[in-house]
Amino acid sequence: MQKTLAIIKPDAVQRRLIGKIISKFEEKGLEIIGLKMTVISEGLARKNYSIHEGKDYFEKLVKFMASGPVVILVLRGENAIEVTRRLMGSTSGHEAAPGTIRGDYALSGRFNLIHGSDSVESAKREISLFFDDTSIMEYEKSDLKWIYDMSGENLV
C-alpha cells in the first residue's frame, strides 16, 4: 500500500475544518497511520517546500505555513497519492470541482487549506521530515476487505 503526507494548513485549522477534511479521507477508505497537530517552524517549512525556492511566492508560503497550527497526516491506501490529490482538488479553490476539499471550502489560490505530496519520492521525503518510525502506526484494519476486493474472486 502507498503512503502519502497531507498537511491541513493554518487557514483550515483557523476555520475549524479539520474534522471535515479528515472525514473526506476516511470516508474514501484511506487509513490514517500518522497524525499530529503542531506549528511548523520557518526552517522546516523551507525544507518541505524547497522545490519552490526562488519562486515569487516562496517566502509568503513559508511564512503562511509557519503562521499557526497545522494538522499533519500520513495516509495509506492503494494509489494514496493520486486519491489524496483528487480529494484535495485543484490548487486554486475557485477552480476546484465541487465535492473536493478545495472545491467545497476554498476560494483562494494561496489560502487553499491543504497540502499533499505529489509523488512517491516527495511523500517519502516529506513523511521523514515530520514523522519518525515510532510515530507511524501501521496495524491491520478489519474493514479493508470491505474497501478493497481482497477475495481474489472475480464477482463481476
How many domains are there within the chain? 1
Residues 6+ apart with CB under 8 A from 2: 76, 77, 78, 79, 80, 81, 120, 123
CA–CA dist 16, 116 (Å, integer): 19
CB 65 within 8 A of CB 52: no
The answer to whether residue 27 is domain-embedded is yes
Domain of 90, in residue numbers: 2-130
The answer to whether residue 144 is domain-embedded is no
The answer to whether residue 48 is domain-embedded is yes
Ranges of residues in the chain with a pLDDT under 70 are 150-156
The answer to whether residue 58 is domain-embedded is yes
The answer to whether residue 43 is domain-embedded is yes
CB 117 within 8 A of CB 126: yes
β-pairing verdict for 70-77 and 2-8: antiparallel
pLDDT at 33: 97
pLDDT at 110: 84
The answer to whether residue 154 is domain-embedded is no
The answer to whether residue 136 is domain-embedded is no
The three cell numbers locating residue 69? 497550527
Phi, psi of 27 (to 5 degrees): -65, -30
Could you list the active site residues? 115
pLDDT at 3: 98
pLDDT at 9: 97
**Using one digit for the tens of pLDDT, what is the confidence trace for 51-96?**
999 999 999 999 999 999 999 999 999 999 999 999 999 999 999 9
CB 6 within 8 A of CB 115: yes
pLDDT at 152: 65
pLDDT at 145: 78
CA–chain centroid gap for 133, Å, is 18
The answer to whether residue 49 is domain-embedded is yes
Length of the chain: 156
CB 63 within 8 A of CB 42: yes
CATH number at residue 111: 3.30.70.141
Q: Is the pTM of this model over 0.85?
A: yes
